[in-house]
Amino acid sequence: MKIIGGVFMTGFIYLVLFQLLGEFIVRLLDLHISGAVMGMLVLLFFYSVKKAIFARDLPESLRRTSHWLIPYLPLLLLPVSVGVVDQLSILKQHGLALLFCLVGATILSLVVSGLTFKFFLTRCAQ
């Protein structure tokens, strides 16, 4: 149990370090991107390069912590998401037009991306 806990914390520390690094880079370059997304890209880039040069896999701890953490994404999205309830009155004024735009655009986006990529997949497979 103690060993599992140790591995878990090591992975967690890796993640937090890359999160902070992402935050730092975003501020440094004045990019309008979330620091966490930048952290994800930097981590991916770092270990891809490491794999290409040294033929080394990801640290086991990083893998374990990530696999534990990712299924909780919906829970972690709740603090931001609950804010929608607070803003419902703003939406009432243009409610129907907004609903149409947002639902329409989402369906369009799903269909266009799904079918465009499918077109390439079937062409690649042939």
Partner 1 sequence: MASLHWHSAIEALINHPLFLIGVTIFLYSISNWIFEKLGRLGLLHPILVCIVVLGFGLHYFHVSYQHYFHAVEVLYWLLGTATVALAVPLFDQMSRIKALFIPIIVTLFVTGVAGVFFIWSVASLLGLPEKIILSLLSRSITTPIAIGVTEEIGGYPSLAAVFVIFVGLVGTVIGLPILKAIGVKDYADQGLAMGFSAHAIGTARAFQENEMCGAFAALGMGIMGLATAILLPFIFS
Near partner 1 in 57-116, by CB under 8 A: 58, 62-63, 65-67, 69-87, 90-91, 94, 97-98, 100-116
Write the binding mask 3 to 32 for partner 1: x where contact by CB under 8 A, - elsewhere: ---------x--xx-xx--x--------xx
As measured in angstroms, the least distance from the Cβ of 1 to partner 1 is 22
Under rule CB under 8 A, residue 49 binds partner 1: no
Please report where in the chains the tokens 């079918």 appear, as a residue.
Answer: 115
Structure tokens at 36: 């966490």
The CA–CA distances, whole Å, from 27 to 36, 43, 44, 97, 112 equal: 12, 17, 20, 36, 34
Q: Nearest-CA neighbor of 66 among 25, 114, 7?
A: 7
Query: Among the residues of the chain, which ranges form H helices?
Result: 2-28, 35-54, 60-69, 73-76, 78-81, 88-93, 95-125
Closer residue to partner 1, CB minimum distance, 6 or 106: 106
Considering the complex, what minimum distance in angstroms separates the CB of residue 55 from partner 1?
14
Least distance (Å) between residue 27 CB and partner 1: 12
The least distance separating partner 1 from the CB of residue 3, rounded to whole angstroms, comes to: 20
Please select the residue that binds partner 1; options are 4, 54, 121, 126, rule is CB under 8 A. Answer: 121
Which residue among 6, 48, 54, 92 contacts partner 1 (CB under 8 A)?
48
126 three-state secondary structure? coil
Amino acid making up residue 53: I
